[in-house]
Structure 1
């Protein structure tokens, strides 16, 4: 026991001696003081912080939506659509609305007041087929609305009410919208008036193939702000209180919000409204090209060095692209200052332009960027590229339904084939002159221009579904380009 105690004492004394020598030989470092931070000696080793010059982003908790929400809800209205619905939609599609009669139904949606004198923008599908449209303001006052004009291609409609001076929202520039930017969705979901939800911009230039609403120009803003049935036609607003989109669709298996909602960009909506007011219809700008959207596989196929952009596969004679000197195999990578990574980017840009507008086009040619000035032309001008180019080659010559066939089959839509150019339609499906085209990809057609527009829109598909009514009264689908 005594030996153990002596050994322990020697160890303690040895440790104290060693520690004392350490403090005498090596310089001391000051420690953090629990109460006052650093002690009086400032000779402290630290790890330097690295700061970037990136602009400071607003944190969610620092963003005040209250003022924006208050002004927005007063400019967003409840839209009621009173229409007649067929008792059998399938019979109506084939035989017309008078075959089975119908019943009155009421649909609801939202709209945005865009001028103090009562012009209201909404979705076409909100007021489609309406016998009467009613608008209820945030103050609960209700007015009958006039339908000034509609555009099925962008799913935009313009209404007008006479209600004196009204609160309104101004258009923002949707091209300047950034992914990750805060936005508010304002509308009337499930008849719950003046509902505001917040989210961020999840993506831009989304193509969701929203065929059910006859939307053919698809370059949507995607957001995670909650949007439900009834929000259609309502406002998507940025943190400056500007209207940067018209809420239009959700992507859901249930029909309700599950995290994705889509809005027509304000630049497209604004251009459509201006055209309706100035011309009575929408002026389409056209490049005069056939195209393909690139990915890594197609980049290898076409022998180009980029997997992003829109490649020109054919330049139409006398079109805007031809006159600007664009060539087959050029890859469009930018229009003005808008990057073109996919066709939806190009479609969205052109959707905000009209014939006669001058734009700068940047293309990749022989692995070198080349910029050209281009003047956009009318989409269906015969002088610009040969109108109805696709419909003639893929089908043949067409004319509107004769009064005899319209009465016989109780139809108010469709086109008759007067000269069949696509002989495969005869050999494979038995299609003949006099047979009628009713729909392309389940979208009813009423003019040769609509046939042309739909065929061009779906040109990148492997095949295009066309609903045919034969002269003997039988219906069937054919596949173009299969």
Structure 2
């Protein structure tokens, strides 16, 4: 049996309790230039050298009661981002930064009660966002992931979709995708897109037994959440005194 491992948050500082706030995390890197592998999809590249999917991908930094952590989110309309539930479900404060270093103001954070998904609403008006695919990608199709592994520079990688497998964490009611895409803490919440830059899944875990393979929440789970907002609960964001 394949042994998956959640792309758990990577705290910059850990404290013993919630009574006091953690110190500030390290500063963001100076460079936002993406690292792109030779097989990355080039469905659309703008004049600044970034793809449509990269424009729509955002670095997420979360302050919890015990430390700091990082993840990735992607835009789906003018004011809405999607990420993983495990990225933000213990958040006290959420910071979102664009590929070119622009910081967005997050006005609400909600988590899916069934799948490992979450929705962030931002006050800013976003210029680009990703369409949700109408159908699942087929086994063997090439998919592409743009995200911020370890909370550092934007990275884009591509690889084949092996297919769907059982979800073993108990974080998703549906089967999940297995893709040949390397990932690291901070990659959680990255959009998995097809050759049309349409979202077909949301990266959330790695295969602990086989390097370079990762798991993604399915298109079925993503569309179910977006179609039924009653599945979303707000994140309160309070620490115990």
Q: What TM-score, normalized by structure 1, do the two folds share?
A: 0.38
* Alpha-carbon distance in structure 1 between the residues aligned to 2:154 and 2:105: 20
* 1:146 shift after superposition: 2.9
* 1:143 shift after superposition: 2.1
Residues 62/265 of structure 1: CA separation in 2 closer, same or farther (3 Å cut): closer
* Alpha-carbon distance in structure 2 between the residues aligned to 1:129 and 1:74: 27
| 2:197 corresponds to 1:241 | yes
* 1:111 shift after superposition: 0.4
Deviations 1:226-270 (A, max 9, x none): 1221110011011111111111111216xxx71220111223212
Which of 1 and 2 has greater Rg?
A: 1
Give 1:114's match in structure 2, choosing from 57, 60, 76.
Answer: 76
Deviations 1:34-74 (A, max 9, x none): xxxxxxxxxxxxxxxxxxxxxxxxxxx99952626611000
| Contact 1:185–1:226 (8 Å) recurs in 2 | no
Give 1:268's match in structure 2, choosing from 211, 221, 230.
Answer: 221
Q: Higher mean Cα deviation, 266-275 or 121-130?
A: 266-275
Q: Which residue of 2 aligns with 1:195?
A: 155
Give 1:67's match in structure 2, choosing from 41, 44, 68.
Answer: 44
| 2:95 corresponds to 1:134 | yes
* Alpha-carbon distance in structure 1 between the residues aligned to 2:41 and 2:85: 33
Deviations 1:82-139 (A, max 9, x none): 1112xxxxxxxxxxxxxxxxxxx11100001000x22000000000111111110112
* Higher helix residue share: 1
| Contact 1:173–1:267 (8 Å) recurs in 2 | no
Q: Which residue of 2 aligns with 1:179?
A: 139
SS in 2 for 1:259: coil
Residues 147/124 of structure 1: CA separation in 2 closer, same or farther (3 Å cut): farther
| Contact 1:143–1:163 (8 Å) recurs in 2 | yes
SS in 1 for 2:159: strand
SS in 2 for 1:227: coil
| Contact 2:149–2:185 (8 Å) recurs in 1 | yes
Give 1:147's match in structure 2, choosing from 108, 124, 142.
Answer: 108
Deviations 1:181-227 (A, max 9, x none): 011011100122321001000112x114114xxx0414111101112
Cα RMSD for the two superposed structures: 2.3
Deviations 1:460-482 (A, max 9, x none): xxxxxxxxxxxxxxxxxxxxxxx
| Contact 2:40–2:156 (8 Å) recurs in 1 | no
Give 1:125's match in structure 2, choosing from 62, 67, 86.
Answer: 86
Residues 147/273 of structure 1: CA separation in 2 closer, same or farther (3 Å cut): farther
Q: What TM-score, normalized by structure 2, do the two folds share?
A: 0.73
Q: Which residue of 2 aligns with 1:210?
A: 169
| Contact 1:149–1:281 (8 Å) recurs in 2 | no
- Give the alignment of 1:47-58 within 5 angstroms: none
SS in 2 for 1:267: helix
| Contact 1:185–1:227 (8 Å) recurs in 2 | no
* Alpha-carbon distance in structure 1 between the residues aligned to 2:95 and 2:180: 29
Deviations 1:368-415 (A, max 9, x none): xxxxxxxxxxxxxxxxxxxxxxxxxxxxxxxxxxxxxxxxxxxxxxxx
* 1:174 shift after superposition: 4.0
Give 1:221's match in structure 2, choosing from 169, 177, 199.
Answer: 177
| Contact 1:248–1:264 (8 Å) recurs in 2 | yes
* 1:147 shift after superposition: 3.1
- Give the alignment of 1:12-27 within 5 angstroms: none
* Alpha-carbon distance in structure 1 between the residues aligned to 2:169 and 2:40: 33
Residues 251/143 of structure 1: CA separation in 2 closer, same or farther (3 Å cut): same
Query: Where in structure 2 are there 5+ consecutive unaligned residues?
Result: 1-37, 233-241
Residues 64/228 of structure 1: CA separation in 2 closer, same or farther (3 Å cut): closer
Pick 1 or 2: higher relative contact order, CA cutoff 8 A, min separation 6: 2
